[in-house]
Structure 1
Amino acid sequence: MTELLGFIAASLLIIVVPGPDLALLLGNTARSGQRAGVATAAGIMLGHAVLAAAAVAGLTALLTASEIGYAAVRLAGAFYLIHLGLKALIGFVRMRRSSAERRTAGHDARPARAVTGRTMRVCVRQGLISNLLNPKVAAFYLSLFPQFVLPGMSTTANQSTLAGVFWVLCLLWFALVLTLLARIRALLRRPGVEQGLAGVSGVSLIGLGTALALRG
């Protein structure tokens, strides 16, 4: 029980620290609404499931053991984050222009957004790719899991259990974030707040991508 509680505590510290996943989730929610946020979270959780399965199978160990492979994933992830950040900033500029045009026309209210199936698919894909291309996540699955050994379990059963616990903790965290965003939905729909979140998420994603690219 002590090992499990220690793993949960370490996992929570890692999960709640803001990173690319949270920045992407906030940006998509601000730009396209609550359903887009849920779709983004679904993509992120799918990525965690894939990486957890890869860690149990030992595939993440092969990745981190290969300097070239690790560098390739790191750079691909960095450029993808920068790409997402630039898209968020473009959306930020468009929102400002649209808001200015509405004020000029004497219409302060923003028309209700329509979230299409394509938007949902894009959000799922963004969450999935962003998570899979973050080598820090793969390294986490490799470095943290071996430090915790649950008594009476084989190596495979131990890693499978820890992977499942971590996945559930991530799910609960994103459910909490989405619930809070739903509670402040009216605030998020204010043009100034919506634009601010889009701008902050764009800058954050570009900053995280740049830092990842420059890290050796």
Structure 2
Amino acid sequence: MTIFSALASFSVVAGLMTIVPGLDTALVLRAAISGGRRHAFATALGINTGVLVWGAAAAVGVSALLTASQTAYTAVRLAGASYLIWVGAGMVWRTVRRPAGTSAAGSGVTPAAAPGPSTLPGAGRAWARGLLTNLLNPKIGVFYVAMLPQFIPADAPHLPMGLLLALVHNVEGMAWFTLLISGTHLARGLLAGDRLHRVIDRITGTVLVGFGLRLALSAE
């Protein structure tokens, strides 16, 4: 297997994984609707940073601990599940705590202090949320440690090749996220309004809690 053929083959697998709806898609869409393009792209960059970390870890064999050690896998799984439940429950709680129809502009408080979904996290926080969500998902690590070695030619250096494969996944992921974010931006007129943002946060929060519970109860 040549480096070119390895990249071409992996791009097909990574592309299919990218377009399958999942947690990453839910986070980016929520950020695009509630926070705008800047926060959505920051979330996408955080997710892709996590992909690079997993790619490097898989290339050097670090993430093999997730498959070799049940204790390590369980620790990461429970940490990831707790984080998802905490973030999702926080989204739902803020929509319950904040009265319907109120907004930062008309509530008598500054936007930075206003509760609820109109209190948009900074781009750095959005990036960190995307990164942590990706890193605390052990199934991503298992995918990489299971798939990446198959696409690393025998004569290729493992770490650079692993990062190159992860970069291919990044490019495809960012292209997909850009389509989602651009489509959401074009429909911003239909998606505007505090009430809709509350509904979106409740749905996204419920999805995150669901992912967290599923991850926590998963035996694998």
TM-score band (shorter)? Answer: 0.7 to 0.9
Q: Secondary structure at the match of 2:122?
A: helix
Superposed displacement of residue 4, structure 1 = 4.0
Please give the residue correspondences for 1:33-52 in structure 2 after superposition, counting only pairs within 5 Å. Answer: 33-52=36-55
Cα distance in 2 between the residues matched to 1:29 and 1:206: 20
Pair 1:24-2:27 in alignment: yes
Pair 1:135-2:138 in alignment: yes
- Residue 91 of structure 2 is matched in structure 1 by 88
Superposed displacement of residue 155, structure 1 = 5.2
Pair 1:214-2:211 in alignment: no
- Residue 199 of structure 2 is matched in structure 1 by 196
Q: Secondary structure at the match of 1:79?
A: helix
Contact 2:100 2:195 in 1 (8 A): no
Cα distance in 2 between the residues matched to 1:205 and 1:188: 21
- Residue 154 of structure 1 is matched in structure 2 by 156
Q: Cα deviations across residues 13-34 of structure 1 (Å, max 9, x unaligned)?
A: 2111222222222233333333
Cα distance in 2 between the residues matched to 1:169 and 1:123: 20
Give the number of aligned pairs.
Answer: 206
Q: Cα deviations across residues 146-193 of structure 1 (Å, max 9, x unaligned)?
A: 23355x852525434322211221222222222222211222213443
Q: Secondary structure at the match of 1:144?
A: helix
Give aligned-pair identity as a percent. Answer: 37
Unpaired stretches in structure 1, ≥5 consecutive residues: 108-112
**What TM-score do you get using the length of structure 1 for normalisation?**
0.82
Superposed displacement of residue 117, structure 1 = 9.4
- Residue 68 of structure 1 is matched in structure 2 by 71
Cα distance in 1 between the residues matched to 2:168 and 2:84: 27
- Residue 182 of structure 1 is matched in structure 2 by 185
Cα distance in 1 between the residues matched to 2:141 and 2:133: 12
- Residue 110 of structure 1 is matched in structure 2 by none
Q: Cα deviations across residues 32-55 of structure 1 (Å, max 9, x unaligned)?
A: 333222221121122112111212
- CA RMSD in angstroms comes to 2.8
Unpaired stretches in structure 2, ≥5 consecutive residues: 113-117
**What TM-score do you get using the length of structure 2 for normalisation?**
0.80
The 1:36/1:160 distance shift into structure 2, 3 A limit, reads closer
The 1:64/1:78 distance shift into structure 2, 3 A limit, reads same
Superposed displacement of residue 118, structure 1 = 5.9
Superposed displacement of residue 84, structure 1 = 0.9
Contact 1:30 1:195 in 2 (8 A): no
User: Could you tell me which of 167, 172, 175 is aligned with 1:172?
Assistant: 175
Cα distance in 2 between the residues matched to 1:133 and 1:78: 8
- Residue 208 of structure 2 is matched in structure 1 by 205
Cα distance in 2 between the residues matched to 1:4 and 1:49: 15
Superposed displacement of residue 68, structure 1 = 0.5
Cα distance in 1 between the residues matched to 2:127 and 2:86: 16
1:123 maps to a residue whose letter is A
2:190 maps to a residue whose letter is L
Pair 1:12-2:15 in alignment: yes
